Structure 1
Amino acid sequence: MSVFLVIIASYLIGSIPVSYLVARLWKGIDIRNYGSGNVGMTNVWRNAGPVAGVLAWAGDLGKGVLTILLAKHFGGPEVVAAAGIAVLVGHSWPVFLRFKGGKMVATFVGVIAAIALPVGLIAAVVWLAVVGLSGYVSVGSIAAVLAIPLLIWAFHLEWPYLVLGILVAALVIYKHKPNIKRLAGGAEPKIKRKFW
């Protein structure tokens, strides 16, 4: 399979709207019409329940893992990193939802975990710790994605993975601009403690 086909396949895997499908099948709702309107785990959790939220999270994470495992069969770090970027672009700008998707965090962790499991696990721990301490999912997400390039560097992974980490971290923060504005204005909702 050519690199071009790997990238196209990765984008299409990323475009599978797991959170949308889970909310539709679990609760019979179009998640885009509820809460923040975001097609992601947090919005599904808040509007379709914890089980649906976990399923959405697992599916989004799984897209990243699956893509990287497939890409490793067709090339080295450059191909794997390109596939990682493609699946994340597909998740955030999916062809199946008119290019309006999620914020990449769960899929990004899946990508990184499939590249280097310790990095993915530490990033997940950072997310859990910051969300637990702050009560804000968005703050945990931003902290986790900022940690990933540092962890890639600390674990001495190949340079394409560092490029992947820096580029995607920047994209994730860009996607969180509305959350950052709400945080600055004191309007960002905290996760309800009953979810824990």
Structure 2
Amino acid sequence: MIWISLLLSYLIGAIPFGLIVTKGWKKVDVRRYGSGNIGFTNVLRVAGPIPGFITLALDILKAYISARFVSRLAGDVPYLTAACGVAAIVGHNWTVYLKFKGGKGIATTIGAFLALDPTLTLLGLGVWAVTVGLTRYVSLGSILFVCSLPVWVAIFGSVEGWSNRYTYMIVAAGVIAIMGLVRHISNIKRLINGTERKLGERVQTS
């Protein structure tokens, strides 16, 4: 049942809600515009705030469901909440439904970590909010968000007393941070070149 839980989490995480929502809302393929990404930020730029936030909510929810509930199918396996959360993020980033091309995993990371530890998630989102507020670069905020998660886990684990729970979380957070950096390589290049789009910039689709 452990492998079934992981596979199901991957398949749920792989559902490309950004593509589904934009096709249903605006009759466009979000992959053909902007960054070509199927996640919240590009949907927001291409289709507007309502489909953008619908996509955000659904992407968060699919990872939360995977980590919080699908992980329970195998019974009480301590590490499976973290593992199923990571599996959902992998599914989103490399979705089988789109020939293993997907998003960047930020919304799904929020969902997975909400199931693991809401407090650490909020602290990470605080890093995101401050960064985006100061720079208007969502990508930079997203990069610092995922990179901050292992740091927050280490800090809280040290303060509260290290346990297996923190071991599972820091492994998951480390994997998530690496995936986040890999998926943002193109954004990092644009940030360095000064060509990265800022929050609020729209993309013309006609």
Q: Please report the TM-score for the alignment, with normalisation by the length of structure 1.
A: 0.94
Paired letter, 2:167: W
Q: Following superposition of structure 1 onto structure 2, how do residues 99-114 of structure 1 map, counting pairs within 5 Å?
A: 99-114=100-115
| Structure 2 counterpart of 1:37 | 36
State the alpha-carbon separation in 1 of the partners of residues 78 and 139 from structure 2.
30
Whether the 8 Å CA contact 1:32–1:39 is kept in 2: the answer is yes
| Structure 1 counterpart of 2:186 | 178
State the alpha-carbon separation in 1 of the partners of residues 21 and 2 from structure 2.
31
CA-to-partner distance for each residue in 1:128-178, whole Å, 9 max, x for gaps?
Answer: 221111110000001111111111122224201110100110111111000
| Structure 1 counterpart of 2:160 | none
Whether the 8 Å CA contact 2:71–2:84 is kept in 1: the answer is no
Q: CA deviation at 1:77?
A: 3.0
| Structure 2 counterpart of 1:188 | 196
Judging changes above 3 Å, is the alpha-carbon distance between structure 1 residues 69 and 150 closer, same or farther for their aligned structure 2 residues?
Answer: same
Q: CA deviation at 1:72?
A: 4.5
Paired letter, 1:170: I
State the alpha-carbon separation in 1 of the partners of residues 77 and 3 from structure 2.
14
Runs of 4+ in 1 over 6 A off after TM superposition: none
Paired letter, 1:46: R
Q: Which runs of 5+ in 2 are unaligned?
A: 158-164
State the alpha-carbon separation in 2 of the partners of residues 192 and 137 from structure 1.
10
| Structure 2 counterpart of 1:135 | 136
Whether the 8 Å CA contact 1:20–1:31 is kept in 2: the answer is yes
Paired letter, 2:123: I
Q: CA deviation at 1:75?
A: 3.2
Whether the 8 Å CA contact 1:77–1:158 is kept in 2: the answer is no
Q: Please report the TM-score for the alignment, with normalisation by the length of structure 2.
A: 0.89
State the alpha-carbon separation in 2 of the partners of residues 190 and 10 from structure 1.
32
State the alpha-carbon separation in 1 of the partners of residues 132 and 64 from structure 2.
23
SS in 2 for 1:77: coil
Judging changes above 3 Å, is the alpha-carbon distance between structure 1 residues 76 and 127 closer, same or farther for their aligned structure 2 residues?
Answer: same
Whether the 8 Å CA contact 1:71–1:79 is kept in 2: the answer is no
Paired letter, 1:101: G
Q: Which runs of 5+ in 1 are unaligned?
A: none
Q: CA deviation at 1:80?
A: 1.6
Q: CA deviation at 1:71?
A: 3.9
State the alpha-carbon separation in 2 of the partners of residues 122 and 149 from structure 1.
12
CA-to-partner distance for each residue in 1:44-73, whole Å, 9 max, x for gaps?
Answer: 000100111111111111111111111452
| Structure 1 counterpart of 2:2 | 3
State the alpha-carbon separation in 2 of the partners of residues 174 and 46 from structure 1.
22
Paired letter, 1:57: L
Q: Which structure's CA Rg is the greater one? A: 2
Paired positions, count: 193
CA-to-partner distance for each residue in 1:58-96, whole Å, 9 max, x for gaps?
Answer: 111111111111145233332122211211110001111
1:28 matches 2:27:
yes
